Amino acid sequence: MEWVTITAATVEDAKSLALDQLGVAGEDAEIEVVEEPKPGLFGRLRGEAIVRARVRPTSVRDTSRRERGGERSARRSERSERPRNRSREGARDGSRDGARDGSPSRPPRGRRSERSEADRGGEGDSPRRNDGPKVPPTTVRDAATTFLEGLFAAASLPVRVESTIDGDDIEIAVQGDDLTTFVGARGMTLTQLQDITRVVSQRRLGDHDTRLRVDVGGYRQRRKDALGRFAIKVANDVVETGTPRILEPMNSADRKIVHDTLSTVEGVVTHSEGDDPFRRVVVSRAPAA
């Protein structure tokens, strides 16, 4: 499993942030303390805590013997089929020769003409209905809630689905126990769940105006709190030392949390640099007025 490295003000904050990023409980993770803050003058701590963590790997049953047996069976089957395949290839070669002699040939199956593909539009695209009436946010909310309630009921997980609407912003929170499976490492499963919910409740209804966000088990709020504490600590260090800090690469949602948190902190400014998925937040001392 992939290790993640987290830097924070204290070891406990670093561990908490690591667990939030992995999306697992403490007993399901391996955590190593790389560096601890050192005591300084007047009881203050110097430096930061650094930990590395990963999802605890599970044992995998050895299937090498079965795989070797399957390979031997496949080789025997290949030897028995070889003469038959040669005869089939000869027949196909004959048909191709006939086509070269002037007989009509059929185009390969599965190939579409450029004109038909253009007429149909991209495969999998759904027609946009921007010219239709605006879909009320409450309708989108109800469709998303119904889908999520059915999904967790199918997984035999009792949950409570709560929602808030602020203009075109829709926030849906799924509360319950043992929901870490739907969060996943670094919240990746939660991101996929949110995308599926958007398909069901927005694209299917032809909605192009609302902004829908889904949270499970309070994961986004915990991560927001941990990132906020870390951002404040970094801002204080920048103000004290005057040295800009370049944070680890973050997704757009996490970068927004850092920017929003430090927008109210005097003495620092933030900006992002680089390209996704390696885009980072830079925290610098604000220029003198």
Write out the DSSP string of 134-188. PPPHHHHHHHHHHHHHHHHHHTT--EEEEEEEETTEEEEEEEESS-GGGT-GGGH
Provide the CA 257 distance to its chain's centre, in angstroms: 17
Phi-psi region at 229: left, alpha or beta (left = phi > 0; alpha = psi -120 to 50):
alpha
pLDDT of residue 170: 95
Q: Which helix (H) or strand (E) holds 55?
A: strand 49-55
Which residue type is seen at 122?
A: G
pLDDT of residue 41: 54
**Among 53, 45, 20, 15, which residue's Cα sits nearest to residue 257?**
20
pLDDT of residue 64: 47
Domains and CATH numbers, the chain: 1-54 (no CATH), 137-217 (3.30.300.20), 219-289 (3.30.1370.50)
pTM of the model: 0.52
**What residue ranges of the chain have pLDDT lower than 50?**
59-67, 83-129
pLDDT of residue 262: 96
CA distance 267 to 238: 9
pLDDT of residue 111: 35
pLDDT in tens, 249-277: 888 888 999 999 999 999 999 999 998 88
CB 279: neighbour CB atoms within 10 A? 14
